[in-house]
Amino acid sequence: MCGATATAVTVLLAIPELVNKLGLSYRTSVELNNLIDKALPGRPSFQCENLTIGGEDLQFHYRDIVPCIRALFGNPEFAHELVFAPERHYTDAERTCRIYSEMHTGDWWWSVQTSLEARNAGATVIPLIISSDKTQLTHFRDKEAYPIYLGIGNIPKGTRRKPSRSAQMLIGYIPTTKLTSITSHAARRRALANLFHSCMAKVLEPIHAYGEIGLAMLSGDGTWRRCHPVFATFVGDYPEQVLVTCTYRGRCPKCLVPANQLGNYTHFPARNHVDAIDTYISAGEGICQFRAACRKAGLKSIFRPFWSALPLVDIFISITPDVLHQLLQGVVKRLTAWLTTILGAAEVDARCRSLPPNHHVSLFPNGIASLSQISGKQHKDICRFLLGLVLDVALPGGQLPSRLIRAARALLDFVYLAQYPSHTSKTLQRLEDCLARFHENKDIFIDLGVREHLNLPKIHSMLHYRSSITLFGTTDNYNTEQSERLHIDFTKDAYRATNRKDEYTQMTAWLERREKIRIHTAFIEWQQQRYPTSSSTLMTSTRPPQVGMRYLKMTQHPTVKAVTFDELAASYGAIDFQDALADFIALVNYPGASVATLRTRAADTLLPFRSVPVFHRIKYSSSETSEDSEIVDSAVIRPEQKDARGCTVPQRFDTVLVRGKHQDVMLGRNGNRIAQVRVVFQIPTKVVHDVFFHDAPTHLAYVEWFSPLSPTPDINHLMYKVSRLMDGGRRRAAVIPVGSIIGSVHLIPRFGPVTPNWNSFSVLEQCSIFYVNSFSDQDNYLRFG
């Protein structure tokens, strides 16, 4: 059997009469590739330059960056989305509170625009977003690729983040080599660093002349503009940042903080771009003098940094925060390790196994202490419950856990706030307050013997988040998660399409052909009116952070067609189902009646049915239309059952947030409340009009109430406390419309000094006091954080 290879295509086309019947103009894969190469328009082709370093012959594959910029800026698919000028957005009419979101809402674009307009009015800035990062091509780590990616800030971040939109381009592969012929480790490192800067300089050289004077470019809407491509941001992890800025490991690539003060809450002077260039220019002719001068300035002895000739650039400002590696793979990774050391691996894992399930929270049934090679996504999942593991923890020596809890809460708050898709002046101040609160309590990790100091570059990097957001917009404009995702399309898939010999030549050819096919496909779809016209408008996320819209989605048919009242009580735990349903029927049929009247009417209600159709899931989508909808939340409500293999699937009854106006009026309280859903059902269609005088909700839910939220959150962990609401020794229950459920809520049990023998699927039944988890997802963080 053949795979999807060139040979397989040729074998397929060799089937008698296949080519004629399909009307194809090619008979082999070679003819097909030639047709694609010659007949279809595409993006700029790759060039290859031969290099010799350390006695090794290398090849540098790259594209001319100016045609690449033209390709992105002039793409008709982006015509209705492009931004041509900076803007300032505010939350109030008095313009006292700024909003930062897209790159054009930041101060950097304003600064460059003002500088260019002072020389010659009518400039259009094209902010260049450059990213690079090594990646493994094989599982055995014997081959690497070093791609360089290009994006432009004129295209909104939401579009740039979607690989399917092709809003970022691969513009080069830096040669990867170990340079084993150079025996000195220091000399080898210098040679590799110079190789990187030489390749980057070659790629960026064409924009030297155009940054200040500009050049004519055609945008996707057919308008010619005088455009100024300017290097705006570099996106990379810490090793890449150090390499780009020519600074040393263990130091900050943005400011002059001493290595032994990285853990201090102190802002140090920023590194000066002009001073750095002067150091390289005035270092002298001799190698020894050059190295000595660079070492004195805290810079590596790079012969010619690629940014030294770029106009309107400050390389130290252009280094942007990296949420993936600095926060998730850095701060959160270390915080998890510190807390595991303090609590003990067994205690941490026991608490992990006792967390109830939720749509947004990934469970770790074996705990997290023994995990290795944890990905950024897994660290993001751990963030959602990490604080809950240290509530009520007992510290050695009888120390109070308050400082530990406050420090952990502050770090997690910072991680969540740093990922906001839009910020205001107020949320940025809150970000800074969280950082200050962490530094006020950080010594607990030293006092407990977990660390000797906190002089870590990733801890220090948090000091620069606020300034970078005000300059370049929110962190999702320049997160390395995007370049990590691009590795799959532009590097790994391309490598798999080769025969592993002279792979880069084959990879670049494969990429060019794929781009041509995509452009041709887009043209056909545009002709068929499947793409929006240039008159369309784009709604960008220039609003303050707020809870997103959710739309209820229920399946057309029930999971179980008929469940008797007795089975509801036995399997679903709905022991007061009939009384609660009678109360709801009275409430719907007699709106505005007094509580006493409603109780009388409910007592007189007779149910003309003994079973109901039941649904086992409530879903919420991001859109009302099914075409572009995404499931953003759900609640699972099911009893214990058997799967297709006969294995037992434990019961699961999720907790939810209920809108106040639909709550049980018998309680006499207003405001949103938390409940556990036991049953989601419908009144049988045959009797629905006999039961209700008026139109009634289609889907109903039997829920068990929790107490109202505590008036104020806990002073240390800032979570709200709730408990089971009891009435005469029974859980208080009610029937409510499913439409009154806002979404799922995750509860963290109060463990106490010693973790009880709970598990994820029994803890909601066994524990009676919980804390509302504000870190389960962004919406609940905005509600309860």
- Cβ(83)–Cβ(158) below 8 Å: no
pLDDT confidence of residue 500: 87
Instruction: Read off the pLDDT band of 538 (50, 70, 90).
Output: very low
Instruction: Read off the pLDDT band of 759 (50, 70, 90).
Output: very high
Kindly state the helix (H) or strand (E) to which residue 436 belongs, with its residue range.
Answer: helix 425-441
Instruction: Read off the pLDDT band of 526 (50, 70, 90).
Output: confident
CA distance 681 to 200: 62
- Cβ(106)–Cβ(100) below 8 Å: yes
pLDDT confidence of residue 669: 45
- Whether 560 has a pLDDT exceeding 70, the answer reads yes
C-alpha closest to that of 781 among 746, 755, 737, 748:
746
CA distance 241 to 263: 19
- What are 238-267's pLDDT values in tens digits? 999 999 999 999 999 999 999 999 999 999
Instruction: Read off the pLDDT band of 325 (50, 70, 90).
Output: very high
Whole-number Cα distances in Å, 94 to 89, 177, 544: 11, 57, 16
CA distance 81 to 669: 47
Phi and psi at 20, nearest 5°, equal -70, -45
- Cβ(423)–Cβ(543) below 8 Å: no
- What are 640-689's pLDDT values in tens digits? 998 888 899 999 999 999 997 644 544 444 579 999 999 999 999 999 98
pLDDT confidence of residue 628: 64
Half-sphere exposure in the Cβ direction for 62 (13 Å, CA): 23
Q: What percent of the chain has pLDDT over 90?
A: 77
Half-sphere exposure in the Cβ direction for 195 (13 Å, CA): 25
141 or 102: which carries more pLDDT confidence?
Answer: 102
Q: What residues contact residue 530 under an 8 Å CB cut-off, 6+ apart?
A: none
pLDDT confidence of residue 694: 80
pLDDT confidence of residue 141: 66
Instruction: Read off the pLDDT band of 754 (50, 70, 90).
Output: low
pLDDT confidence of residue 666: 45
Instruction: Read off the pLDDT band of 617 (50, 70, 90).
Output: very high
- Cβ(771)–Cβ(721) below 8 Å: yes
Whole-number Cα distances in Å, 368 to 229, 372, 378, 720: 46, 9, 10, 25
Average pLDDT (198-220) is 96
DSSP 553-564: E--SS-SEEEEE
Average pLDDT (32-58) is 93
CA distance 244 to 671: 53
500-534 in b/e form (b: 16+ CB < 10 A) is eeebbebbbbbbbbbbbeebeebeeeeeeeebeeb
pTM equals 0.93
- Cβ(313)–Cβ(273) below 8 Å: yes
- Whether 62 has a pLDDT exceeding 50, the answer reads yes
Average pLDDT (148-161) is 96
Average pLDDT (600-620) is 94
- What are 454-497's pLDDT values in tens digits? 999 999 999 999 999 999 999 999 999 999 999 999 999 999 99
- What are 68-79's pLDDT values in tens digits? 999 999 999 999
- Whether 501 has a pLDDT exceeding 70, the answer reads yes
Percentages (nearest 5) of helix, strand, coil residues in the chain: 40, 20, 40
- What are 328-377's pLDDT values in tens digits? 999 999 999 999 999 999 999 999 999 999 999 999 999 999 898 899 99
- Whether 290 has a pLDDT exceeding 90, the answer reads no
777 or 548: which carries more pLDDT confidence?
Answer: 777
Average pLDDT (287-294) is 85
Average pLDDT (745-761) is 87
Half-sphere exposure in the Cβ direction for 294 (13 Å, CA): 23
Strand, helix or coil at 115? helix
- How many CB atoms sit inside 10 A of residue 597's CB? 12
DSSP 762-784: THHHH--EEEE-TTSSHHHHHHH
Supply the Cα-derived Rg of the chain in whole angstroms. Answer: 31
DSSP 193-226: HHHHHHHHHHHHGGGTTHHHH-EEEE-TTS-EEE
For residue 657, the 8-state DSSP code is: E
16 or 253: which carries more pLDDT confidence?
Answer: 253
Instruction: Read off the pLDDT band of 537 (50, 70, 90).
Output: very low
Tokens of 765: 């039944």
Instruction: Read off the pLDDT band of 282 (50, 70, 90).
Output: confident
- Residue matched to tokens 């809003």: 167
First to last CA, the chain: 57
pLDDT confidence of residue 530: 57
Of 31-40, 369-378, 419-428, which has the strongest mean pLDDT? 419-428
- Whether 636 has a pLDDT exceeding 90, the answer reads yes
667 or 771: which carries more pLDDT confidence?
Answer: 771
Q: Average per-residue pLDDT in the chain?
A: 92
